[in-house]
Amino acid sequence: MEITSAEFVISNSRADMCPKGNLPEYAFIGRSNVGKSSLINMLTKNPKLAMTSSTPGKTLLINHFLINKEWYLVDLPGYGYAQRGKKMMEKIQKLIEYYVLEREQMTCLFVLVDSRLEPQKIDLEFIQWLGENGIPFAIIFTKADKQSAGKTKMNVAHYLDRLKEEWEELPPYFISSSENRTGRKEILDYIDSVNRQLKEAATV
Ligand code: GTP
Ligand code: MG
């Protein structure tokens, strides 16, 4: 699939104020600074679409980007950034929880994890929580350009082994780099395949 149009639509501090209608949404979640906003820019080939920063805690709202006038990419605030202060952390946690659990248009949640790191407790707990709530998700291992391909492969295998301890079936997963566009085609093809399934299901 190619992206022919990508437009910023709206930022919201409340999940119940997100766009109406029933276009499917693909949302990006993960720890602050893992590269959610950068990945949206990489997929859309528009470095200015989502705001990024080398300082964690840049995205604080739910941001909707309309793609090809048919579906949305959704940029969410990161979790687990304690420097924001307790009140802000709680607010963001509620926002994420509400979006993930209540947003009917949410079709797949991409959980981003840093490909360089050992499995982090906070991510494993979040993934566990998704499982308990039956949320469809996939994993994206980010920042692959920051180490050798061999190291990424090893870390991903290690991560999947860790997930196998709790999961009978592994989720779809992707390796990405927003620097050199690794994973772009695979992620967009996956979204395309899910969109097609939705369309087929709607016509039966
Ligand atoms: P919050 O909005 O704070 O939750 O962060 P985020 O997950 O949206 O991260 P963001 O995309 O703002 O990226 C954080 C930093 O990591 C920025 O300095 C990016 O340039 C850098 N970064 C993101 N993805 C990559 C990548 O694939 N490779 C490299 N080398 N740097 C990346
Ligand atoms: Mg961001």
Profile the chain (204 residues) by mean pLDDT over runs of 10 residues: 95 88 96 95 96 84 96 93 78 91 96 97 95 96 98 98 93 97 98 95 84
Q: Which residues contact 117 (CB under 8 A, 6 or more apart)?
A: 155
pLDDT at 57 (0 to 100): 78
The residue whose C-alpha atom lies closest to atom 2 belonging to ligand 1 is 59
* Residues 7, 30: Cα–Cα separation, whole Å: 23
Q: 158 C-alpha vs ligand 2 centroid, how far in Å? A: 26
Q: Is-contact 50 40, C-beta < 8 A?
A: yes
User: Ligand 1: does its nearest atom lie under 6 Å from the Cβ of 177?
Assistant: yes
Atom of ligand 1 nearest to the CA of 146: 30
Quote the ligand 2 centre to 115 CA distance (angstroms): 17
Percent of the chain whose predicted confidence (pLDDT) is above 90 = 80
With a 6 Å cutoff on the Cβ, whether 57 touches ligand 1 is: yes
Q: The pTM is what?
A: 0.95
pLDDT for 32-48, tens place per residue?
999 999 999 999 999 99
Question: Residue 82 has what pLDDT?
Answer: 67
Backbone phi, then psi, for 128, in 5-degree steps?
-60, -45
